[in-house]
Structure 1
Amino acid sequence: MSVKEWDKEKYKGVFVAMYSAYDDTGEVSEERVRKLARYYVSTGVNGLYVGGSSGEGILQTAEERKLVLETVMDEVAKELTVIVHVGANSTKESAELAVHAESVGADAISSVPAIYYRLSEAAVERHWQEMIDSTSLPFIIYNIPQTTGFHLSQSLFKKMAVQDKVIGIKMSGESVFELQQFKVNAEKPFLVYNGPDEQYLGGRIMGADGGIGGTYGVMPELFCRLERLYREGEINEAQQLQCKINAIISKLLSFPSLYGACKAILSLRGIETGIPRLPLLPVGEEDMGSLEALNEEIGKLTASYTRYQV
């Protein structure tokens, strides 16, 4: 299917990298998945990125990942654009997850290279190609070299991007220059998502069409506001807001794990998602005072802006 047949606008804007949602025994909770997805609908974000780093997809079984996606689609499919991370260590499982994503109506699939093994470009290309060929869905490359150890070259990128079904890249590397190069080198209408939350504005200025991020999950309204300020050309105010967001991110990174801190903050708001799955660490009781203060800080900053739908 030609990329021209896909509605580009539905893939732009603020996409929350959705967290895992477990019950008190550590098993996937459909009820909590639904509540979390429903919460994000209420905040004005454009979509969800399911099963990525924030969603702990790599730490879940294929059946758990399918259950999470089925629940999300059943709850919010008609209200948000849903991109699914289907990457797994084996190509076979990745393709299986891709086929499942199409069967439940996901809007697009995405994948990192396989982790652990240091793979050649030919191996990564074959890995991604199997997923691309397994469905008719749009495919979004996920480039995050700091965790995968694979640095996507512009030559391999160009080879992948020429395909009609490859419509975008989630650029989680830290170089906005490289982000801009991906945008230019696609040589066709192409989506680029900013990955590092602390440089959302920088990514947008350098050509990103929106962002996918984990810390969006505890301050979605702030990222929606940041997106609106950028679109309206209010760059100075946007810069000020990005700096305030970055101060919050710095505090989140001071806890035993980013995801543990974010999930604990949601719990303070009555949105239970359980603790992250080991080896990701939960926060301890000694951290709760600091998290309560940080949650209050986020609340005050959010309240200073008017909620809106991007």
Structure 2
Amino acid sequence: MKKLYGVITAMTTPFTSTGEVDKEALEQQVEFLISKGVNCLYPTGTTGEMYLMSVEERKLVAETVVKKAAGRVTVYIHVGAMAQEDTIILAKHAEEIGADGIGVVTPSYFTVDDRAMVEYYRAVSSVVSKEFPVYVYVIPQLAHNDITPETMEIICNECINVIGVKYSYPDMTRLLQYLRVNDGEFSVVFGADHMFLPALAAGADGTVSGCSGPFPEAFVEVYKQFKAGDMQAAKKAQDKATSLAWLMKGGADMSIFKHILTFRGVRGGHMKKPLLDLTKEQVEQLKKDVEVYLD
């Protein structure tokens, strides 16, 4: 089973001005990211405005990314949805179209106890083959629900194809705890872009990074230098990546990502309502702020 590793870019979803998926722009984004050296693509997650899309729109995005990537990089599809039935439909679809694996966010909004959490991942992981990898996606600041290390251990033991976690809360203590799941064989990827290097040093396999979408180069350099054993060069690259992450507000507004992609020659597209694009004045200021980083 292919694991997530290195720079895993959480892709944006480009929409037309009338709210449809811009397939051509999405294909441009895939080519851009692969050309810049990212290791994995991760569409239809939080950065991809997952909960604002229909099941059919999410299927279109998944199919487009898998087809365009054509096996050149690992592709995991995020399939978590508000309704468990939709999650199951999207999980089956991801395997059918040839994705390398799936990410599944915890149930959201409503409070879910440990028993329900385990049952949820048992239900979703069982509808795909035992060889098809599943990553649990934990982002309590948005999804409302968290998963303790003890519950994660149970999920891992009961769901043979749950091989890792995408942890997107900046808590290094919890990261270290997850790294001990399944006797240290559990794959952990971190979602805090500005802590990529510390996470790697702690034992994480990589970062699922929205900020690496508009500016993949700095993040790719962090991973390259870390793997080469040059910590000084890796730290220098991380400093740049951190500055970029803070400039982009850490993904708090995906319209920033989309406009920077457009600045770089990749049509970023529009936001899906009720989310809004930046104003003209905001775009002009953003271009000034990122000018020093543009090609």
Alignment TM-score, normalising by the size of structure 2 = 0.94
Q: What are the residue-to-residue correspondences of 1:133-212 with 2, within 5 Å?
A: 133-136=126-129, 137-162=132-157, 163-212=159-208
Could you tell me how far 1:42 is from its partner in structure 2? 0.6
Unaligned runs of 5+ in 1: 1-5, 301-310
Task: Please state whether the residue corresponding to 1:278 is helix, strand or coil.
Answer: coil
1:12 aligns with: 5
2:109 aligns with: 116
2:22 aligns with: 29
2:79 aligns with: 86
Deviations 1:188-241 (A, max 9, x none): 522110111010011111110111110000111110100011112222332232
Between 195-204 and 31-40, the greater mean CA deviation after superposition: 31-40
Q: Is the 8 A contact 2:105 2:137 kept in 1?
A: yes
1:227 aligns with 2:226: no
Q: Which of 38, 54, 57 is the matching residue for 1:61?
A: 54
1:73 aligns with 2:69: no
Between 123-132 and 204-213, the greater mean CA deviation after superposition: 123-132
The amino acid that maps onto 1:82 is V
Distance 2:68 2:100 in 1: 14
Query: Percent of pairs identical after alignment?
Result: 31
Deviations 1:21-66 (A, max 9, x none): 1123220121111111111111111110111011111110000000
The amino acid that maps onto 2:214 is V
Distance 1:98 1:165 in 2: 13
1:39 aligns with 2:35: no
2:125 aligns with: 132
Distance 1:254 1:90 in 2: 27
Could you tell me how far 1:254 is from its partner in structure 2? 9.0
Could you tell me how far 1:288 is from its partner in structure 2? 2.1
Could you tell me how far 1:141 is from its partner in structure 2? 0.6
Q: Is the 8 A contact 1:23 1:273 kept in 2?
A: no
1:305 aligns with: none
What is the aligned length? 292
Distance 1:7 1:113 in 2: 22
Q: Is the 8 A contact 2:193 2:250 kept in 1?
A: no
Task: Please state whether the residue corresponding to 2:9 is helix, strand or coil.
Answer: strand
Could you tell me how far 1:289 is from its partner in structure 2? 2.4
The amino acid that maps onto 2:163 is I
Distance 1:113 1:296 in 2: 38
Could you tell me how far 1:248 is from its partner in structure 2? 2.0
Distance 1:254 1:227 in 2: 19
Between 189-198 and 92-101, the greater mean CA deviation after superposition: 189-198
Task: Please state whether the residue corresponding to 1:216 is helix, strand or coil.
Answer: coil
The amino acid that maps onto 1:208 is A
1:97 aligns with: 90
Unaligned runs of 5+ in 2: none
